[in-house]
A and B are shown apart, each in its own frame.
Chain A
């Protein structure tokens, strides 16, 4: 279905899941990169704002109400497919923020410079780690928030530590 049918989504395929520009400008918002009909719905219950819905059966594609979503990021670690990211492209800010699930060791440190990777694992350039969240509520799926140039915000979906 994507990338020569081998896994990485193209932005075009995500068109319906990516909030409109006007919404992105307003502040942080989740992007649910889940475009196949698979039987799964934990995202619906986990959202404290009630912004995610799946209608017409368990297999339908989750939809996010951009206006209800406040970008809290709770859904990131609650998605069994690790397919939810938070993007902050607030207008007027110099850099963008991306929060992503990161289930690898060692975790990066706050302030560390890491390599931002796109959906195919291709390096985009360096990013700064702003926050590393972990804890019981996240059930072993830490959330890493990075600051990076605005033009990468819709592409950066992973990080690589530069020194181990």
Chain B
């Protein structure tokens, strides 16, 4: 179902265009992602699991998981959640693990595109045009460093583009500004004569000599940089329960993308799992989109997010049940309900408290994990820090990793939120520029570090504080 009226957003849809799904003609809007168009057209099963043939839909909607791999115009295993819809597109459910050579492929095998012989060059390459990456580019370009930002999405902003709520923090960190309005503000500060932003381009490897392998459409090419800043964010965590793979079980971020970027509601009735800030904020945004949030459940005895976020949905009548967990999702081909139960003090579900809720969507807001694969592939040493969301690339106080000249910033360096991501981006940008011999005014880095310390100073910053402390005291001293 498409949203027509929204209190915060105006949806400017492109031209209505036809495409086919397994031979059936459907319609979507130009510029929206294939996964969104399919969902709006009522398609819930995008593929079947290769062995047990279970129904699968999209889970993360931002290109991080592999739940929505489909065949598009004859190319196998395309992430349809980040593939813009084009007129006449031929979309198919893949067979098995996907066929790489099919009748639909008109061009030559093995790769129907081009290998570029020429290697592009830049001083600083930034992977990811989200809050961290754009902030890094502001600093590098501001110091006269030639910069190229590469992002696999079709627009800048990373996950800011779906944050309809006002940010917290102070003025320096865009407090009171809605997330959706921040990316354009960041872009304004990037010295455009020094920056190139390459969209729709996926960095598939970080090789010797700081050379990035990039796939864009059907083409493959290389970008060699003197310094690389990796700011490619995080991916949504899955929770294991019966039928957790059913279409209709989505990450909270996916639900936010679908409704706030493309103006499509995930389902009419939603169960939210997790009462951290993301679960609470997305619940509120679901209400704003006219969706019935049946319950918010949280396994811990306390809500994890800010009380003010909880209050917004409580006063709208949404129950938040702590000490509750999801037992299973029900439904054969898609979610038709969910069974929830109380948990005892040992976090074990109490059978006699089981209840079934009739919902079309189960939304999981159970944390994020850094998308650090590119860093690990490049040889960065990793360290497991639960407070930062799992495995992260070990880094020093300048955010430089063990592969010298490769920096991290934002959620990929440890899960926090967009305000700290912007500051880390600035820090990485300043550090990279400085190491290229640019003169960074005294106090610039200190100012950023002070702001970071202040944002992390309160009780809600404790986890990040502990994580960063482990990074500097345990991890960095060990790997160095």
Q: Say whether B317 contacts A121, CB under 8 Å.
A: yes
**Residue A51 at the chain B interface, CB threshold 8 Å:** no
Set of chain B residues within 8 Å of A139, measured between Cβ atoms:
166, 178
Set of chain A residues within 8 Å of B408, measured between Cβ atoms:
none
A52–B322 alpha-carbon span in the complex (Å):
33
A121–B293 alpha-carbon span in the complex (Å):
13
Q: Say whether A8 contacts B166, CB under 8 Å.
A: no
A82–B311 alpha-carbon span in the complex (Å):
9
Contact pattern, A 116-130, Cβ under 8 Å of B = 1, otherwise 0:
011111100000000
Nearest-neighbor residue (CB-CB) of A82 within chain B? B312
Max count, chain A CB within 10 A of own CB: residue among B302, B314, B458: B314
Q: Say whether B168 contacts A81, CB under 8 Å.
A: yes
**Residue A35 at the chain B interface, CB threshold 8 Å:** yes
Set of chain A residues within 8 Å of B460, measured between Cβ atoms:
36-39
A141–B455 alpha-carbon span in the complex (Å):
25
Q: Say whether A58 contacts B454, CB under 8 Å.
A: yes
A120–B312 alpha-carbon span in the complex (Å):
9
Q: Say whether B310 contacts A33, CB under 8 Å.
A: no
Q: A39-B169, A58-B455 are in contact. Are A83 and B311 (CB under 8 A)?
A: yes
Question: Which B residues from 439 to 472 make CB contacts under 8 A with A?
Answer: 454-461
Q: Say whether B455 contacts A39, CB under 8 Å.
A: yes
Q: A39-B454, A42-B171 are in contact. Are A7 and B320 (CB under 8 A)?
A: yes
Residues of B bordering A, CB below 8 Å: 5-8, 165-171, 175-176, 178, 275, 280, 287-288, 298, 301-303, 306-322, 419, 454-461
Q: Say whether B302 contacts A5, CB under 8 Å.
A: yes
**Residue A3 at the chain B interface, CB threshold 8 Å:** yes
Q: Say whether B312 contacts A121, CB under 8 Å.
A: no
Q: Say whether B322 contacts A59, CB under 8 Å.
A: no
A2–B7 alpha-carbon span in the complex (Å):
29
Q: Say whether B454 contacts A35, CB under 8 Å.
A: no
Contact pattern, A 64-75, Cβ under 8 Å of B = 1, otherwise 0:
000000000000
Q: Say whether A117 contacts B317, CB under 8 Å.
A: yes
Q: Say whether A37 contacts B458, CB under 8 Å.
A: yes
A-B contact pairs, 14 of them (CB 8 A): A1-B302, A5-B301, A5-B302, A6-B322, A8-B311, A8-B314, A9-B311, A34-B308, A40-B175, A104-B7, A117-B316, A118-B315, A139-B178, A140-B7
B290 to chain A, nearest CB (A): 8
Nearest-neighbor residue (CB-CB) of A44 within chain B? B170
Q: A5-B322, A42-B175 are in contact. Are A33 and B308 (CB under 8 A)?
A: yes
Set of chain B residues within 8 Å of A140, measured between Cβ atoms:
7-8, 178
Q: Say whether A7 contacts B303, CB under 8 Å.
A: yes
**Residue A57 at the chain B interface, CB threshold 8 Å:** yes
Q: Say whether A105 contacts B6, CB under 8 Å.
A: yes
Set of chain B residues within 8 Å of A5, measured between Cβ atoms:
301-303, 322
Q: A39-B454, A104-B288 are in contact. Are A80 and B8 (CB under 8 A)?
A: no
Given A1-B302, A6-B322, 7 other A-B residues pairs in contact with their CB atoms under 8 A:
A1-B307, A36-B460, A39-B419, A58-B458, A83-B308, A119-B311, A157-B315
Set of chain A residues within 8 Å of B307, measured between Cβ atoms:
1-2, 7, 9, 35-36
Q: Say whether A121 contacts B314, CB under 8 Å.
A: yes
Nearest-neighbor residue (CB-CB) of A6 within chain B? B320
Set of chain A residues within 8 Å of B321, measured between Cβ atoms:
6
Q: Say whether B322 contacts A117, CB under 8 Å.
A: no
A35–B311 alpha-carbon span in the complex (Å):
12
Nearest-neighbor residue (CB-CB) of A35 within chain B? B307
Q: Say whether A39 contacts B176, CB under 8 Å.
A: no
Q: Say whether A121 contacts B170, CB under 8 Å.
A: no
Q: A5-B303, A58-B169, A59-B458 are in contact. Are A36 and B308 (CB under 8 A)?
A: yes
Question: Which A residues from 44 to 98 make CB contacts under 8 A with B?
Answer: 45-46, 57-59, 78, 80-83
A6–B320 alpha-carbon span in the complex (Å):
6
A152 to chain B, nearest CB (A): 13
Question: Which A residues from 1 to 46 make CB contacts under 8 A with B?
Answer: 1-9, 33-42, 45-46
Nearest-neighbor residue (CB-CB) of B307 within chain A? A36
CB-contact partner of B458 in A38, A80, A81, A141, under 8 A: A38
Q: Say whether B167 contacts A80, CB under 8 Å.
A: yes
B82 to chain A, nearest CB (A): 28
B73 to chain A, nearest CB (A): 39
Set of chain B residues within 8 Å of A59, measured between Cβ atoms:
454, 457-459, 461
Set of chain A residues within 8 Å of B456, measured between Cβ atoms:
39
Set of chain A residues within 8 Å of B459, measured between Cβ atoms:
36-37, 59
**Residue A158 at the chain B interface, CB threshold 8 Å:** yes
A4–B310 alpha-carbon span in the complex (Å):
13
Q: Say whether B5 contacts A117, CB under 8 Å.
A: no
Set of chain A residues within 8 Å of B317, measured between Cβ atoms:
117, 120-122, 160
Set of chain B residues within 8 Å of A6, measured between Cβ atoms:
275, 298, 303, 310, 314, 319-322
**Residue A103 at the chain B interface, CB threshold 8 Å:** yes
Set of chain B residues within 8 Å of A78, measured between Cβ atoms:
176
A41–B310 alpha-carbon span in the complex (Å):
19
CB-contact partner of A7 in B178, B310, B457, under 8 A: B310
A139–B178 alpha-carbon span in the complex (Å):
9
Set of chain B residues within 8 Å of A42, measured between Cβ atoms:
166, 170-171, 175-176
Set of chain B residues within 8 Å of A4, measured between Cβ atoms:
322
Q: Say whether B315 contacts A119, CB under 8 Å.
A: yes
Set of chain A residues within 8 Å of B167, measured between Cβ atoms:
80
B343 to chain A, nearest CB (A): 14
Q: Say whether B314 contacts A80, CB under 8 Å.
A: no
Set of chain B residues within 8 Å of A160, measured between Cβ atoms:
317
